[in-house]
Amino acid sequence: MEAAINKELAEFKYPKNLLCRLVFAFIFFFLLYYLYSNTMVHQLHSPVLIFPYVDITYWFFHLLKIPEFITHNYFISCCFDVLLFASCVLSFLFPGKRFFVIAFFVLYCIYYIIVNSYGTQHTHSKAGILLMSLPFMVPKKMFYYMWEAMRYFALFVYADAFLWKLFRINFLTEDHGRLVIKKNFAAYLYYHPYGFWADMYTWLLKHPGIVQIIFITGFIMEGCFVIGFFTKRFDRYLLVLSILLPVGFLLLSDAFFFELLILSFTLLNFRMLSKPVRQQRTIWRSSSASLVFKNPHRFKIQGVRVFKPVRFLETPQVVPVIILACRDCISQQ
């Protein structure tokens, strides 16, 4: 395992700054969505009902009166939201400055607790945005390990959902998918009995077999993430599944899990984002048209000097070289 990690670190330069900008651009988009949906701190209008449940962290914050201090003063809540946006923008503009990332992490952690406490529901999907700041808070030499840790966390999120359904044997429950639609869309169908979405959900309720097939398909898609714990070979397919699943959650369960899409960045292939650092290969073959590198400035094909050697990554330049070399060899014969 350690040898594989060292090999990957040696061959590739990890684009930390590029990934930091991608992540915080994604976060900024969702902060705008929170502002649009009236869920920023200054838009809560001094709430009083809280739901810390049995989480010690929530109780600790409320005992210190931190959420109350921020939410019950409109000016302070506005300043808090401005600082949250500013820390996100500065983290995007200056990806190498860990101070801005740490500031965003602290502010978003407080926001996370405030929204979940006064929203009377702990929305776990926001944890993705909170934790994705961690890889950019550590020194550059530790970035790889933190990024890999977030990849395993992304795999755990979906694999855990699969295991939860597996051990509860939900996939064997008759009409389970139909019951999920009934529970989550009853209010919507009552208040909006007409329209495209109402017709679609009504049609699905009349065809429970199709709904059950979709539910089992989603169950299998979540189970596929278990493979990621053993190999990265299928990360490209897991990336696609991680995008499709939140869409299915919204359409069939009325659950907004799109914030988890930020974890999908960890499934990206670094080879697509960074140029590999490879040494020029030396090829020895016994055939008459073999390529033999004599020095770093030229190579010979049967004693005929051709162009200076090019990197094998530059395929458009390699092909003409080989064609011309072969032509010269044939003409000499």
pLDDT, tens digit, 9 for 90 and up, residues 290-308: 444 444 444 444 444 444 4
Q: Which of 3-17, 153-167, 235-249 has the lowest mean pLDDT?
A: 3-17
Residue 171 neighbours by CB under 8 Å, 6+ apart? 165, 215, 216, 219
Question: What CA–CA distance (Å, rounded) separates 75 from 272?
Answer: 45
Q: How confident is the model at residue 46, as a pLDDT? A: 85
Q: Is the pLDDT of residue 281 over 60?
A: no
Question: What CA–CA distance (Å, rounded) separates 133 from 137?
Answer: 7
| Residue-averaged pLDDT of the chain | 80
Question: What CA–CA distance (Å, rounded) separates 112 from 167?
Answer: 30
Which single residue is written with the structure tokens 């979906």?
158
H or E stretch covering 210: helix 208-223
What are the contacts of 188-197 at 24+ separation with CB within 8 A? Answer: 188/254
Contact predicate 249/257, CB 8 Å: yes
Residue 298 neighbours by CB under 8 Å, 6+ apart? 305, 306, 307, 308, 309
Q: Which range, 81-90, 198-207, 289-298, has the best average confidence (pLDDT)? A: 81-90
- Residues 136-161: pLDDT tens digits? 999 888 898 999 999 999 999 999 99
Question: What CA–CA distance (Å, rounded) separates 196 from 164?
Answer: 33
Of 167, 22, 37, 12, which is closest to residue 95 (Cα–Cα)? 22
- Residues 178-197: pLDDT tens digits? 888 888 888 888 898 888 98
Q: How confident is the model at residue 304, as a pLDDT? A: 45
Of 34, 2, 56, 5, which is closest to residue 259 (Cα–Cα)? 34
Q: How confident is the model at residue 32, as a pLDDT? A: 95
Sheet of strand 298-301: strand arrangement: 292-295, 298-301, 304-305
Residue 104 neighbours by CB under 8 Å, 6+ apart? 24, 27, 84, 87, 88, 91, 133
Provide the phi-psi class of 53: left if phi over 0, else alpha when psi is between -120 and 50, else beta.
Answer: left
Cα of first residue to Cα of last residue in the chain, in angstroms, is 52
Q: Which range, 10-24, 162-176, 208-222, has the best average confidence (pLDDT)? A: 208-222
**Whole-prediction pTM:** 0.74
52 φ/ψ angles, rounded to the nearest 5 degrees: -75, -15
Q: How confident is the model at residue 52, as a pLDDT? A: 84
Of 319, 322, 323, 274, which is closest to residue 143 (Cα–Cα)? 274
Sign (positive or negative) of CA dihedral 229, 234, 238, 239: positive
H or E stretch covering 292: strand 292-295
Contact predicate 181/252, CB 8 Å: yes
H or E stretch covering 39: none
Q: Is the pLDDT of residue 73 over 80?
A: yes
Hey, where are the domains in the chain? 1-137, 152-277, 292-332
Identity at 59, one-letter amino acid code: W
By percentage, how much of the chain surpasses pLDDT 90? 42
Question: What CA–CA distance (Å, rounded) separates 143 from 132?
Answer: 12
Question: What CA–CA distance (Å, rounded) separates 67 from 41?
Answer: 10
